[in-house]
Amino acid sequence: MTAIGKVLKSTGKWYLVEMENGSVINCRIRGKFKLDGLKTTNPVAVGDIVDVDEAEDNEGNRVITKIHERQNYIVRKSTNLSKQMQILAANIDRAYLLVTIHSPVTHLAFIDRFLVSAESFRIPTTILINKADLLSEEDNEYADALIYLYESIGYPCFKISAENNQNIEFLKEEINGKQVMISGHSGVGKSTLVNAIDPDLNLKTGEISKAHAQGQHTTTFAEMHQLASGGYIIDTPGIRAFGIVDLEKEHIAHYFPEMRELLGECRFHNCKHLNEPQCAVKEAVENGSISESRYQTYLQLMEEDPNDVYRRNIYGL
């Protein structure tokens, strides 16, 4: 006999699972799961719906026996050279990408790579510019330019201050009844934001390293928390680089919404938007309707070796 549960935390070997009756139990897996040919470091991810054997094994543990089909999932390249990817989370209704202008700097290429990956798995994404209370006049102008850029292509953007509970009330309403993910570099304030949304969680928060202006990792594994206001929020480990995996080169433009709108207007149906004549995408870059920074990220993705399993900290990510 088995019962159905939801994975709240995955450490690679042990899993915290919330059962349908509300109880939370420790589980493990037996043997190896093969998931649609995916080669991953973590076969079971936070957010997965799983079957759990109701009987305990010889050591008194419950065992995950099956992973239900995923609505979606989001991955990044793994640092483990024998594997291809790490699943950050599964069954996500919306992703919130938390970015900061300083301490640490979130580069445009990182934002674009995250958005491409989310687009490829049909995960709607909102961009949250945190630490708005610390922005200078010049910083605010830059933040406004980011908001203009990304909202013009369909991504909602908000300035917030998790530390000061500034402009975060709307999140409680948006998250209620949903399963969402919060992601970003270490030090951007992910755990602080979760605590601001639900102070009872009291997640550990980290300090910014003065030497490198980067956050100290306070979340080692992704973990999902049930909020008092309703819904679940997945707090992911800080990401320094975001390697795109499993995307065919000829499909990458489809995951840039502003390029996707123009794909039927190029002279050649198989245009790669690199050096081809009468390319609608390149013309849009030249006339400013597609951002140069977004196009540069596209070029970087087109140039990368898909067989390179290293997570490279390149392009200032």
Q: How far is CA 243 from CA 86, 110, 186, in A?
A: 10, 9, 16
Residue pointed to by tokens 């209370």:
133
> What pLDDT was estimated at residue 10?
87
Provide the residue type at 237 as one letter: P
d(CA 232, CA 307): 35
- Token pair in block for residue 56: 């305990």
- CB atoms under 10 Å from CB of 72, counted, come to 16
Q: All domains of the chain, ordered by start, with CATH?
A: 2-70 (2.40.50.140), 91-235 (3.40.50.300), 249-303 (1.10.40.50)
One digit per residue, the tens of pLDDT, for the chain of length 317 reads 889 999 999 887 789 999 999 999 999 987 666 555 566 767 899 999 999 998 887 777 799 999 999 999 888 776 555 456 778 899 999 999 999 999 899 999 999 999 998 999 899 999 999 999 999 999 999 999 999 999 999 999 999 999 999 999 999 999 999 999 999 988 999 989 999 999 998 776 644 333 334 444 444 578 899 998 899 999 877 555 555 666 788 899 999 999 999 999 999 999 999 999 999 999 999 999 999 999 999 999 999 876 554 444 333 33
- Residues facing residue 173 across a β-bridge: none
> What pLDDT was estimated at residue 239?
59
> What pLDDT was estimated at residue 245?
65
- Residues facing residue 19 across a β-bridge: 5
Cis (ω within 30 of 0) for the bond into 104? yes
d(CA 237, CA 231): 20
